[in-house]
Amino acid sequence: MKDPYRTADDTRKGAEEDSEENAVQNADNSTDQLLNHPGIWRAGELVVQQSQSSRAIHTGYPTLDEQLPGQGWPDGGLIEFLLASTGVGELRVLLPALVALSQSENRWIAWINPPFTPYAPALEAAGVDISKILLVHPRNHKEALWAAERACKSASCSSVLAWLNEKPLKLKDTQRLQVAARQGRTFTCLFRPEAMTNQPSMAELRMTARPAGSSGRVVLDIIKRRGGWPVTDLELPIAERTNTQYRTPRDIQEQLELWRSRHPAPACDDPGPDPVPLHLPAHRERQAAHNVH
């Protein structure tokens, strides 16, 4: 029975109120669905990655693992080291993961445009399978970016380490590398100047690194991570963990000669470019040694 005192205006207002209530309820449902989406990163909670495509690689440093999503480096994703200078210990932070990848996967570890030639004896002594090291020396930034993206996307590399020219590097380039790393399930690391700390990047993990007060240790500041706030002053015992210590040039030369005796050069007139530099001038090897030692 209709209410005899209800006017047309009352009916219209009631309909409008019902419509607004339904709209609010639908908006709440949409918001809940959005927040529950697995692609959303929430500050304050570290996402434990459980899917096969996003499993983590243990860093070898429990203190660092505790601060990272999935308790380790992203199995397929882009990270960045932001450095005041090269050779502060950044490669020794990565060394346990590189050892594990070289031993457990039949894929390359690609070094794109490294500032120094990797010191093969030290890598092998640390446990890296150097037969899986691939060096790429591009002629310019365009080639370097292309090589890094293709190496990530191809799924033929377990890890890609890249040193790119910062001046032409754009935000969209880091996005391309992040997408390619996910597609190829490639642990990808960019080494960038510390001055780029405040520049936007699509890398899912960004860190600065600096020497600690005591020898053989490095301090990390995590400035961006999935699902968590920044973390500062993580001190890692890189020399102890990787069994590496700073050595004199004579120690390095003796190690090199011993290593050469175990890896004789192939006999051929023109061996061509070797992706793993096994025989370098001694001064170049000493120059490169500080990346690992």
Report pLDDT digits (tens) over 221-245.
Answer: 999 998 889 999 999 999 999 887 6
The model's confidence at residue 291, banded by pLDDT at 50, 70 and 90, is very low
**In angstroms, rounded to a whole number, what is the distance separating the alpha carbons of residues 211 and 285?**
22
Q: Is residue 94 domain-resident?
A: yes
- How confident is the model over 119-167, as pLDDT tens digits? 888 899 999 999 999 999 999 999 999 999 999 999 999 999 999 999 9
Residue 23: inside a domain, yes or no?
no
Residue 164: give its domain's CATH number: 3.40.50.300
Residue 118 domain boundaries: 74-224+231-242
pLDDT of residue 214: 78
- pLDDT for the residue numbered 37: 56
Would 2 be classed as within a structural domain?
no
pLDDT in tens, 3-48: 555 565 655 666 666 666 665 566 566 666 665 655 555 555 454 4
**Position 269 confidence tier, pLDDT thresholds 50, 70, 90:** very low
Q: From 190, 221, 193, 199, select the one nearest 79 (Cα to Cα).
A: 190
Residue 48 lies in a domain: no
- Backbone phi and psi for residue 116, each to the nearest 5 degrees, phi listed first: -130, 155
Structure tokens at 105: 């996967």
Whether 156 maps to a domain, the answer reads yes
List residues bridging with 208 in a β-sheet: 82, 221
Percent of the chain with pLDDT over 90: 56
What total of structural domains would you count in the chain? 1
Answer whether residue 290 is part of any domain: no
- Provide the β-strand partners of residue 207: 81, 222
- pLDDT value, residue 117: 87
Model pTM? 0.71
Residue 292 domain flag: no
pLDDT at 171 over 90: yes
